[in-house]
Chain A
Amino acid sequence: MNETLQTRLKSLSEAVGVSGDESEVRKLILEQIKDQVSSVIIDAMGSITARKAGTSPTPLRLMIAAHMDEIGFMITGCDSGIAQVMGIGDHDARFSAAKRVSVGSGKTPGMLLWAPIHKSYGQKSLPEPDDMTIDLGAGSAAVGDRAAYQGQFAVMGEHTLRGKALESRAPCAVLIDLLLGDALPVDLLPAFTVQHHIGARGARTAAYRLRPDAAIVLRAVECNDLPPEGDRDSSERAARFPLIRLGGGPALVASEAPYVTHRNLFRLTRELAQQAGIPYQIDALNLSHRTEGEVISATAAGIPTITIGIPVRYSSSPNGLVDVRDLEHTAALLRVLGARLTAESLQE
């Protein structure tokens, strides 16, 4: 397994950066990229933008965005070690019962309280994150402190990494990998953005500042590859949702409704992947929330944008899974794109 990538992802995954409070992750990333880039700016919202100069005399300016933030909670009150919270981001509450969290900058351990099964039997409907409470024991938390899930980072099997917030930190790790590598013909304009989980807000200001010729959004796509339930309810699921497999390669997102990926950029990316022998899969998402692709593509006078997804299983869980080969293949695909992207290829 790629040890460098593994170590980098571990430190990123274990850092806490709930939407609106991404500083720990930001510091970690700045430390790693500072010698490789110029024009580092931390914008008014907290996103990082920078430039890694291209080798071409007239380099195309290519923005690559990855968000730093994760879902979590904000403390709204604390009495006798029991804290009230509000949810931050799109929680899947199926994962939240009786989980361990870290609270505040000191990462005080806390527990999402859960009534014993003997006393809560039959309760099937999911709670709102705002109705959850955190047990801090004798500890305390200040109003406004953020809390994030505690993950248990580990290597599983031969190629898989387990940990929290991989949906955000795996794309960050790939983007760092790209910046630490050799310069490409294009100008690489990395944007490590904030507040993805509350409306892709950091991507908007970063894109406005950079005004690139084209943009790539790096993000996670949720795998849909659990084996069907025999002859049970599988057909419906398979028919309605694209099959995205862990280890199947980067997912080229053809559309994130209501936004449709730039047609030529999508075709080019697919052709380049085929030529380079990089495995890939195609995703088409029907999402209710706003995405970076949608936001960036409509920034300023419009920016040709493609979203490339890294397959993640259980992305909203305290522990998600990524396949290291998917990360490597994504980095390889970005390098090919950086080498082959031209102004002509973007024209209609």
Chain B
Amino acid sequence: MPDKALIRTLVEAWGPSGYEYQVRALIQKEVQNLADEIRTDAGGNLICRMGSGGKKIMIAAHMDEIGFIIHHIDPQGFARFSMIGGLFSSTLNGGRVKLENGMIGVIGLDGEPNPYRTGTATLGDFFLDFTGAGASERVQVGDVGAMWRSMDVQGSRVIAKSLDDRIGCVVAIEAMRRLKGVALSNTLYFVFTTQEEVGIRGARVSAFGIAPDMAIALDVTPTDDIPKARNASVKIGKGAAIKAMDAGHIVPPAVRDLMIKRAESAGIPYQIDVMTIGTTDAAAIQMTGSGIPSGAISIPSRYVHTTSEMVDLDDVEACVKLLIEVVEKPLEAV
């Protein structure tokens, strides 16, 4: 089963888009003895090669998380912010934000409590409260923050911030651990990418540098198993999700079918992922250079982009197994 301690280490780490260095250091420590070669490219992506020969397969999981950037702070210590990546105003009120220096800010909403509020609050209606903590010295315009909350485990479910996409990183690391010492048919590039949440930017440059024959993104996907869901196709706890399409990417049928075939022959539970909102690193990779056939293995996740993202450990395990099945053996023509 997946390493819960590793999950906790990564999800509780601090790393909004563009500020992934703390996460990168943690991952580098984990994979130091697993890869044949490790480098960090100009985009901040951590690139770990395992094996040589065969096809070049890139496996991408992003290290960054959504966050906040402070654009104004008043003398009392109330800060206004812009978003890094997709923040939903319905999920913010009462949350906590951690700055790079460890300062904690509480997310407040103008004029609350107000039982007579009408309409939806917009981001401009929220502020971060740093009052009473020496804010004037320790918080500046331009400081970057990430949501903060510790991880909980309940049965087979993990509930935490930043499972998007540290759980993808965990799948990659877990696969690397199990592939260590195995004779590989392909050259594998495990890439821990940057800036996915702000326009899938890290994957784009790292794919250009590696120029792989095929790529697989590891990322979370929303589920349709909560009341009134309608933008997704998968359910939590029902296995690894093999992507067919999302808002930025139609997986080539040959890549999708290869994954399905490998899942079926290995008896790994899987489901097909069609989502109409959001996309993954694979969308950028497929468009790099002359085009790179790309697919994605998705980890079904509820409450994406909140501090209580939820995944099922059985799904995570299925994703690890499926990834290994796909990359370990020779690829048929894709």
**Bitwise interface map of A from 203 to 245 toward B, beta carbon under 8 Å scored 1, else 0:** 0000000000000000000000000001110000000000000
Residue of B at shortest CB range from A233? B228
A289-B213 Cα distance, complex, nearest whole Å: 65
At the interface, yes or no: B111 with Cβ under 8 Å from chain A?
A: no
Which residues of A are found within 8 Å of B228, using beta-carbon distances?
Answer: 230-232
State the Cβ distance, B194 to closest chain A Cβ, in Å: 36
Q: Which chain A residues (144-166) contact chain B, with CB distance < 8 Å?
A: none
Shortest CB-to-CB span from B109 to chain A, Å, is 30
Q: How far is the CA of A232 from the CA of B224 in the complex (A)?
A: 12
Chain A proximity of B224: nearest CB distance (Å): 8
Report A's interface with B, CB cutoff 8 A: 230-232
In chain B, positions 208-266 with a C-beta closer than 8 Å to chain A are 227-228
- Can you report 4 A-B residue pairs in the complex whose CB atoms are below 8 A from each other? A230-B228, A231-B227, A231-B228, A232-B228
Kindly provide the distance from the CB of B231 to the nearest chain A CB, expressed in whole angstroms. 13
Q: With A and B bound together, what is the CA distance between A232 and B227 in angstroms?
A: 8
Closest approach, in angstroms, between the C-beta of A235 and any C-beta of chain B? 13
Contacts of A230 in B (CB 8 A): 228
4 closest Cβ pairs, A-B complex: A231-B227, A232-B228, A231-B228, A230-B228
Question: Which secondary structure dominates where chain A touches chain B?
Answer: loop
Distance A133 CA – B227 CA, assembled complex (angstroms):
42
How near does chain B come to A67, taking the closest CB pair, in angstroms? 40
Cβ contacts under 8 Å, A232 to chain B? 228
Q: Which residues of A contact B227 (CB under 8 A)?
A: 231
For B155-171 the 0/1 string (1 means CB < 8 A from A) is 00000000000000000
B38 CB, nearest partner CB in chain A, Å: 47
Q: In the docked arrangement, what's the CA distance between A312 and B267, Å? A: 43
Complex CA gap A231/B225 in Å reads 10
A232 to B226, CA, bound (A): 11
CA–CA, A231 and B230, complex, Å: 11
Q: Mark B93-127, 1 if CB is under 8 A from A, else 0.
A: 00000000000000000000000000000000000
- Measured CA separation A156–B228 after assembly (Å): 31
B21 to chain A, nearest CB (A): 44
A232 (CB) vs chain B CBs: closest residue: B228
Name the CB-closest residue of A to B225: A230
| In the bound complex, CA of A232 to CA of B228 (Å) | 6
Q: Closest residue of chain A to B228, judged by CB?
A: A232
| Distance (whole angstroms) from the CB of B233 to the closest CB of chain A | 13
Distance between B236 CB and nearest chain A CB, rounded to angstroms: 15
A230 CA to B230 CA, complexed, in Å:
10
Query: Which residue of chain A has the shortest Cβ distance to B227 in the bound complex?
Result: A231
Bound CA–CA A230/B223 (angstroms): 14
* B232 CB → nearest A CB, Å: 12
Cα separation A277 to B228 with both chains bound (whole Å): 41
A226–chain B nearest beta-carbon distance, Å: 16
Q: Complex: how many Å from CA A230 to CA B227? A: 8
Chain B residues lying within 8 Å of A231, measured Cβ to Cβ, are 227-228
From 43 to 60 in chain B, residues with beta carbon under 8 angstroms from any chain A beta carbon are none
Compute how far the CA of A192 lies from the CA of B290 in the bound complex, rounded to whole angstroms: 66
Docked CA distance A123–B254 (Å): 39
Q: How far is the CB of A209 from chain B (nearest CB, A)?
A: 55
Closest chain-A Cβ to B229's Cβ sits at a distance in Å of 8
Cα distance A231–B227 when bound, in Å?
7
CA distance A46 to B227 in the complex (A): 55
B103 to chain A, nearest CB (A): 43
* A231, chain B: closest CB distance, angstroms: 6
Give 1 or 0 for each of B272-304: 1 = CB within 8 Å of chain A CB: 000000000000000000000000000000000
Q: Give the distance in Å from the alpha carbon of A163 to the alpha carbon of B282 in the complex.
A: 43
B2 nearest CB across to chain A (Å): 30
Shortest Cβ gap from A279 to chain B (Å): 35
Within the complex, what minimum Cβ distance (angstroms) separates A253 from chain B? 35
A3 to B: closest C-beta gap in Å: 38
Given the complex of chains A and B, what is the CA–CA distance between A231 and B229 in angstroms? 10
Q: Which residue of A lies closest to B224 (CB)?
A: A230
Cβ-closest chain A residue relative to B229: A230
Within the complex, what minimum Cβ distance (angstroms) separates A228 from chain B? 13
- Closest approach, in angstroms, between the C-beta of A13 and any C-beta of chain B? 35
A306: min CB distance to chain B, Å:
42
Say how far A190's CB is from chain B's closest CB, in angstroms. Answer: 49
Measured between C-beta atoms, what is the minimum distance from B115 to chain A in Å? 28
Interface positions of B from 179 to 230, Cβ below 8 Å from A: 227-228
Cα–Cα, bound, A38→B215 (Å) = 77
Chain B proximity of A211: nearest CB distance (Å): 56
C-alpha spacing A8/B227, complex, angstroms: 47
B44 to chain A, nearest CB (A): 39
Q: Tell me how far the C-beta of A46 lies from the nearest C-beta in chain B, rounded to whole angstroms.
A: 49
Would you give the shortest CB distance from A229 to chain B, in whole angstroms? Answer: 8
Chain B: minimal CB distance from A155 (Å): 29
